[in-house]
Structure 1
Amino acid sequence: MSQVGVHIDSGIKAVLFGLFIYAVGFESGPQFFRSLGRQSLREISMAAVLALSGLLTVLVIARVFHLDKGLAAGLAAGGLTQSAIIGTAGSAIEKLGLSPEATQAMQANVAIGYAVTYIFGSFGAILVCVNLLQWFMRRDIREDALQAEQEQLQGVRLYAQGESSALPDIVGRVLRVTRPGLTVQAIEGDAGASGVTVERVRRGGAEIGVTASMTLEVDDLVLLVGRRGPVVAQAGQIGVEERHAEDLDLVMVQRDVSIANPQYLNRPVGEIVTHLSADVRHGVFALALLRAGSPVPMKADTVVLPGDMVTLFGASADIQRAAQSVGPVILPSDKTDFVYHGLGISVGLLIGLLVVRAGPVPITLGSGGGALLSGLIFGWWRSRRHTAGNLPTAASTLMRDLGLAGFVAMVGLQSGQQAVHTILDQGVKLFLLGVLVTVIPLLIAMLFGRYVLRYRNVAVFAGALTGARSANPAFGEVLDKAGNNVPTVPFAITYALANVFLTLLGPLIIAFA
């Protein structure tokens, strides 16, 4: 379309890229800041080494082959398949003080380098991270993934969409009482400490209110709800199970509750449960502990941290009563908090206006880097305060995909005429240089991971390596080879870091190429 003279205002390009890069930062923020700790030093080191080796590779190639700043940044964007570099480099080029014509020509070269090198950037990462890595490690991804599954999940079972357990942890049973003299308190224990609760009782065809001191009579029908083991054990002591008792059914709800009460924070789960009051505990079952959206093993020694959420199951009234002590209920919603995210994008664009000079060299995050940093911070804050900043997955995906697709289309429309001439002149040369930019950093990171970081499990190693390169197609192939989600854990950490490190290569290449 650019060949027939279609022109698009640059402001549209800036808005679309801001939407894309903010969404990337917002999604990565919780995992990014969570990964900045001693427990993830290997992944942090992997992401940093790959980004640094990518930067040095591009700078050396630009110096040897006399590439201008735009082509160098384009090589990085395509060879490292980090499309965001186009935006951060383009913003940095605008701060160089060049004429409008020279600025647009250099920004066009960024798009040209990207277009020529991106295809092998995606394909080459698959070859290195899947095929070459297995040969180098002399191990099989699937075998190592199976070996590591239990170690990494620590007993937490994850189900994909549409999957469920044939033996659910929480069950309900309708029983006809055959043993006289039983009380509700005797069945439940102290505030449900036995793992079961009596939710309903029907006597003589009419439902009666349930109290702890109630004595059950023979032929009463009771609805028993609780964890499968205790329910099965108690059922044999109470009576016989009824096959049909729909009129005793009870609607149960599952809700995520943000743990905001200070008395539950920074304490082990076992200690919290021991000191729970009867009102909070009764009729409520904790199914999972979530941290930054990921399940955490709910063991007695697991420490609850600020920002954690607990998934509770029970009758609606019981959940609401427990939430008054624990924290606010986070209801699923398809509404987007436009005030929160509008502020986030605005703050990011303001950060992008800042310029720091290292001598004569201007260094700036630009609008893209600023929006990324703001997205990380606002995403992290959302993970700590769940009541503000809702952004449904579908809305975030639309922001990210529409923003990137529209931005790249704008770049093509603005630079298409010049791109045709440059590709005809330098296409093969740029393609081969892109191969080097794709392969060399991956090889360096692979050697560093094997001999310095001491990765032994190739499934974990492959996840970390693909994340450090933000290579989504390669990661998809790794998951297919693994057959489970083991590579996801290291990938999530290095991918969040790579989205920051690799994106920031744009202004660095413009400054030093």
Structure 2
Amino acid sequence: MNLLHEIFRQSPEIALFLSLAGGYAIGKIQFGKFQLGGVAGSLLVAVLISQVGVSIDNGVKSVLFALFIYAVGFESGPQFFRSLGRHSLREIAMAVVLAVSGLLTVVVLARMFGLDKGLAAGIAAGGLTQSAIIGTASAALGKLGLAADEVQRLQGNVAVGYAVTYIFGSFGAIIVCVNLLPKFMGRSIRDDAIKAEAEMLAGVQVYGPGQHPAAPDLVGRIYRVGAAAGRTVAEIEQTASEGSAFTIERVKRAGKLIGVQPQLKLRDGDTVLLVGRRAGVVAAAGSIGTEMQSSAGMDVVVVTRDVTINSPEFTGKMVAEIKASAGADLRHGIYVVGIKRADKPLPLALDTVIEAGDVVTLYGTDQDLQRAAKSIGTVIVPSDKTDFVFHGLGLVLGLLIGLIVVRIGSIPLTLGSGGGALLSGLLFGWYRSRNLAIGNMPTAASTLLRDLGLAGFVAVVGLQSGLQAVQTIATSGLSIFLIGVVVTILPLLITMLFGRYVLKYDNSAIFAGALAGSRSANPAFGEVLDKAGNSIPTTPFAITYALANVFLTLLGPLVVAFA
């Protein structure tokens, strides 16, 4: 034990990464249908390791949490701002109900068990995992007109109540949001997240990493000219109907490649490469000649590129208008694979209106794509590099916002570093969706920030508070801990019932995100995201989380006043 203490004293980061490794290992274990997950597992392992005695700087926790919450906001910025409005009323009601039920639970239990004001406020801060309550409650205690030593005792009890109840405050929210809510709804978070995403995509097929259609829409095939002898390249290409276009990309005659021109007449025995829509390429076989499996030198490299639409010739117009006005020179050899707005696919319907900042995915040779991009907008070059200038400034702005304090009377209100980083992430994510040439953050990088940030934050909490919490429980009995359990679980259950039967939430993924946010339960939200497998829960979480930071902070003086 002394050896471990000395190791962790010299290198506390070992305790942090050991908590992560052990936590994720435990989190994978299935207990029937129950699974802890990596975040909850990291918290439990960190509490165990803390019994050896670990001192870890509080700044580490702040940095990890800022990275997590900024990455979440950045991914969800476009969707969040589109969702604001009347649709947000349910999330506002969720945050209000949880704050009110949390206050009533703490006040009733404090009076039932004779808790003093300091201990009640600490249990509220820990059981509801809102650290800001410590500050607002301590300030309120200092204004009661009590003797200095009594104020100091009560303020000390705030810290005791917080330390004993905070760990289960995090763990209990995971149990309710990730395990209990799906059973209550009768549907898994993953299934409902997929369903919500499908509805959002309006039927557009989206393939995951490594997935490809067995019969792709765009193909290339090689033919030996027979029936098409004597016809020009332009004449053959013009036989294609709308939606089945193809182009002749290469011609080989007498074993040598020749330049492809619209007026080039094909001869019997020529070899041609057709590239385009599968329906058109396959249908052309009967009028061209015999299909060949391969032919030396007839292959051509085609690429897929995303292009941001910002030309006035295309923005504000329907797809049908663009098709009618686009010249043959622009369209030749270019095939539209799809179109996205704020990273969400749009249906390629004739009445779809194109807006500035939309991204069109084009397929063709690099030469053709470069020619078309000059008329359409800016080519987005794929990169695995993160734009640290953009995101560094985003984090700086978020942390500066977190420093702002607004006072209502004597009550200080602030978003804190977490709320500021979330707001900044939302803003920078939205701006990036409108200007895709800057602010790149690959999905893998964003996932690492989310996973490492949240699990690391929770592990640091366990390492810092675990020893004191266990010691307090051992000396004071389980009463404070059990009261904290009720403060954690009961408001969540009340809010869950209110959300289901009054607000009519019917999607488990959206509901779980809103519930986690209304309790500012970041570890629970991390597990919800993991279960969902997409960003569907993020928008309701972002709205309720921002409100919860304000509503729950206000509980500090109210608990002191009524407990």
Distance 1:190 1:104 in 2: 84
- DSSP 3-state at the match of 2:488: helix
Distance 2:69 2:197 in 1: 33
**Matching of residue 181 in structure 1 with residue 219 in structure 2:** no
Q: CA deviation at 1:406?
A: 3.1
TM-score (norm 2): 0.76
Query: Greater shift after overlay, 183-192 or 100-109?
Result: 100-109
- What does residue range 438-457 of structure 1 map to in structure 2 within 5 Å? 438-450=492-504
Q: Which residue of 534, 543, 563 maps to 1:497?
A: 543
The letter of the residue matching 1:13 is K
The letter of the residue matching 1:181 is G
Query: Greater shift after overlay, 124-133 or 46-55?
Result: 124-133
Contact 2:303–2:363 (CA under 8 A) maintained in structure 1:
yes
Q: CA deviation at 1:228?
A: 1.1
- What does residue range 95-494 of structure 1 map to in structure 2 within 5 Å? 106=158, 109-110=161-162, 112-126=164-178, 128-134=180-186, 153-179=201-227, 180-189=229-238, 195-423=245-473, 424-425=477-478, 426-450=480-504, 458=506, 461-470=507-516, 471=525, 473=527, 491=537, 493-494=539-540
The letter of the residue matching 2:306 is D
Residues 140-188 of structure 1: CA distance to partner in whole angstroms, max 9, x if unpaired? 9999999999866433112233322121110111111112221111122
Specify the alignment match of 2:71 in structure 1.
Answer: 23
Specify the alignment match of 1:482 in structure 2.
Answer: none
Distance 2:137 2:379 in 1: 47
Distance 1:389 1:149 in 2: 24
Q: CA deviation at 1:20?
A: 2.2
Cα 1:108–1:364 shift into 2, 3 Å: farther
Residues 316-364 of structure 1: CA distance to partner in whole angstroms, max 9, x if unpaired? 1111111112222212212111111111111111111211111111111
The letter of the residue matching 2:97 is S
Distance 1:205 1:172 in 2: 20
Contact 2:163–2:468 (CA under 8 A) maintained in structure 1:
no
Contact 1:362–1:511 (CA under 8 A) maintained in structure 2:
no
**Matching of residue 59 in structure 1 with residue 103 in structure 2:** yes
Specify the alignment match of 2:91 in structure 1.
Answer: 47
Specify the alignment match of 1:8 in structure 2.
Answer: 56
Query: Greater shift after overlay, 401-410 or 18-27?
Result: 401-410
Query: Greater shift after overlay, 16-25 or 165-174?
Result: 16-25
Distance 1:331 1:173 in 2: 28
Cα 1:141–1:34 shift into 2, 3 Å: closer
Structure 2: 5+ residue runs without aligned partners?
1-48, 111-118, 143-150, 517-524
Q: CA deviation at 1:262?
A: 3.0
Distance 1:188 1:270 in 2: 21
Query: Greater shift after overlay, 303-312 or 337-346?
Result: 303-312
Cα 1:140–1:162 shift into 2, 3 Å: closer
What is the aligned-residue identity percentage? 44
- DSSP 3-state at the match of 2:222: strand
Residues 438-491 of structure 1: CA distance to partner in whole angstroms, max 9, x if unpaired? 2111110001233xxxx7xx5xx22331232245656776x6xxxxx9xx6864
Distance 1:325 1:435 in 2: 58
The letter of the residue matching 2:486 is L
Query: Greater shift after overlay, 373-382 or 297-306?
Result: 297-306
Contact 1:307–1:384 (CA under 8 A) maintained in structure 2:
yes
Distance 1:427 1:496 in 2: 29
Contact 1:58–1:437 (CA under 8 A) maintained in structure 2:
yes
Distance 2:459 2:190 in 1: 39
Contact 1:111–1:411 (CA under 8 A) maintained in structure 2:
no
Residues 18-60 of structure 1: CA distance to partner in whole angstroms, max 9, x if unpaired? 222222221221211122256xx2xx33333322222222122
Cα 1:132–1:235 shift into 2, 3 Å: same
The letter of the residue matching 2:61 is K
Cα 1:322–1:108 shift into 2, 3 Å: farther
Contact 1:463–1:489 (CA under 8 A) maintained in structure 2:
no
- DSSP 3-state at the match of 1:263: coil
Specify the alignment match of 1:75 in structure 2.
Answer: 127
Specify the alignment match of 2:12 in structure 1.
Answer: none
Cα 1:395–1:475 shift into 2, 3 Å: closer
Cα 1:92–1:170 shift into 2, 3 Å: farther
Contact 1:289–1:297 (CA under 8 A) maintained in structure 2:
yes
Cα 1:152–1:33 shift into 2, 3 Å: closer
Structure 1: 5+ residue runs without aligned partners?
78-84, 480-484
Specify the alignment match of 2:38 in structure 1.
Answer: none
Distance 1:143 1:416 in 2: 36
Cα 1:496–1:271 shift into 2, 3 Å: farther
Number of residue-to-residue matches in the alignment? 481
Specify the alignment match of 1:81 in structure 2.
Answer: none
Specify the alignment match of 1:32 in structure 2.
Answer: 80
In our comparison, the structure showing a higher alpha carbon Rg is 2
Cα 1:120–1:3 shift into 2, 3 Å: closer
Cα 1:463–1:7 shift into 2, 3 Å: closer
Distance 1:274 1:7 in 2: 69
Contact 1:269–1:299 (CA under 8 A) maintained in structure 2:
yes
The letter of the residue matching 2:167 is A
- DSSP 3-state at the match of 1:442: helix
Distance 2:336 2:548 in 1: 40
- DSSP 3-state at the match of 1:267: coil
Contact 2:192–2:508 (CA under 8 A) maintained in structure 1:
no
Contact 1:29–1:496 (CA under 8 A) maintained in structure 2:
no
- DSSP 3-state at the match of 1:445: helix
Distance 2:464 2:537 in 1: 35
Distance 2:265 2:500 in 1: 69
Q: CA deviation at 1:234?
A: 1.9
Contact 1:18–1:368 (CA under 8 A) maintained in structure 2:
yes
Contact 2:56–2:460 (CA under 8 A) maintained in structure 1:
yes
Q: CA deviation at 1:507?
A: 3.3
TM-score (norm 1): 0.83
Distance 2:317 2:557 in 1: 48
Contact 1:92–1:365 (CA under 8 A) maintained in structure 2:
no
